[in-house]
Chain A
């Protein structure tokens, strides 16, 4: 049972602990004032990683070897020198794609000692020494179709989801906004664009099914059934039973199928949660009523859950990394851009407000 959460915010990293009587409280804070865009807890729980976005002074990685007691700066994922005269422009705006890390968007563990890092502009980095150094996945960066990736909510494309197959850590699948779903079977030596069945309704009809054009908001993988993936897409919810090769769209999901966050139960592949917003140009809850949606039957039906969530109008938006399910599948937590944080101890049936006064929340992660 996980009693601790890490919450990365616009103004620091917080640890939330479940105390006496089941009350969740802020137990620690680090890096106050600095945006923390991603956090990672390595197996065992003592080694933590935090990605700082210092704005003026660039992205920085911090690592703790003692569960957060002390931190030290480690290497940041850094792009190699851009070859002289090479043209690399954003296809939409025609501006140069920076060969420089703008944001560390996601961090995941691979094989023992191996870490993966997705960044903006859209690139993947791998570390085989626990974060001491990072290597750009050159095959993906140099893939000609990478130059067709575009920014979604940010100016440039980015990799926000990294799924490491628990059966085979050489098999890694990533989600790109915008740029679809890509998979490697050899830890990044070669890549394949997958994603049949995805649909981008905002594009001309002839392009709608192009796997490269998909604005994937977030993909998660069921740990016990790694072929089952759930996706929150820009215009819908999709699931796959073959590791992302073929997707099926779930239509008529109440109250909306627009959103960013999705979590899947670690052992039950048919149970997943979403936090919907109205639609792309109205990024707040439908009718200002904040809810979580849950399916327990692989998307055949969805329940709308709101017990314990605000009864007054709420305009909270939940970012793609700000909803998490505990390792045992019993607890959930999510945080919003309004700085509100909630937890559930019954798989979403009811919710407890942890805080309504945190800085805007970027990521939430259980420490188990």
Chain B
């Protein structure tokens, strides 16, 4: 099951993070798989305990995920995860 993973362009000046396709059944699984190849990205998206950073918004198919701590929201073939910079926290 491959999910498309996209990032806010605001991350581009910090990270090389082009759109990609990653397998996984939940947001956590997709991100963990992505971090295997891109370990630097982890600290930009998640806090020290592995939860979504307070001012990072994660969408699955244009809907905000519900589980920002466990990242257990399911994803499947053809879904899209978009990691955005929340409007708060600037």
Contacts and interface: CB of A to CB of B under 8 A. Distances in A.
Interface of A: 54-58, 60, 73, 76, 78-79, 81-82, 98-101
B40 A56 contact: no
A99 B49 contact: yes
Interface stretch (B26-34, B58-66, B82-90): B82-90
B49 A58 contact: no
Interface string B45-73: 10111100101100000000000000000
Contacts of B56: 56-57
Nearest to A56: B55
A98 B47 contact: yes
A145 B75 CA distance: 44
A58 B44 contact: yes
A101 B46 CA distance: 11
B43 interface: yes
B29 to A, nearest CB: 19
B90 to A, nearest CB: 6
Contact of B89 (A56, A60, A82): A56
A57 B53 contact: yes
A53 B61 CA distance: 30
B43 A60 contact: yes
B21 interface: no
A267 B41 CA distance: 45
A73 B55 CA distance: 21
B53 A101 contact: no
Interface of B: 10-11, 14, 40, 43-45, 47-50, 53, 55-56, 85-86, 89-90
A100 B53 CA distance: 10
Nearest to A136: B48
Interface of A: prevailing SS: loop
Contact of A78 (B14, B44, B48): B48
A100 B49 CA distance: 7
Task: Tell which of A55, A58, A73, A82 has the most Cβ of chain B within 10 Å.
Answer: A58
B47 A55 contact: no
Contacts of B90: 55-56
A341 B86 CA distance: 33
B14 A54 contact: yes
Contacts of A55: 55, 89-90
Contacts of A54: 14, 44
Contacts of B10: 56
B40 A100 contact: no
Contacts of B85: 56-57
Contacts of B50: 81
A280 to B, nearest CB: 27
Contact of B49 (A57, A60, A76, A82): A82
A101 B10 CA distance: 22
A58 B47 contact: yes
Given A57-B43, A58-B47, A58-B53, 10 more contacts: A55-B55, A56-B55, A57-B14, A57-B85, A73-B40, A76-B43, A81-B49, A98-B49, A100-B47, A101-B48
Contacts of B55: 55-56
8 tightest Cβ-Cβ pairs between the two chains A and B:
A100-B48, A100-B47, A56-B55, A79-B48, A57-B44, A56-B85, A78-B48, A55-B89
Contacts of A81: 49-50
Task: Tell which of A56, A60, A73, A82 has the most Cβ of chain B within 10 Å.
Answer: A56
Nearest to A80: B48
A99 B46 CA distance: 12
Nearest to A101: B48
A57 B11 contact: yes
Contacts of A82: 49
A98 B69 CA distance: 13
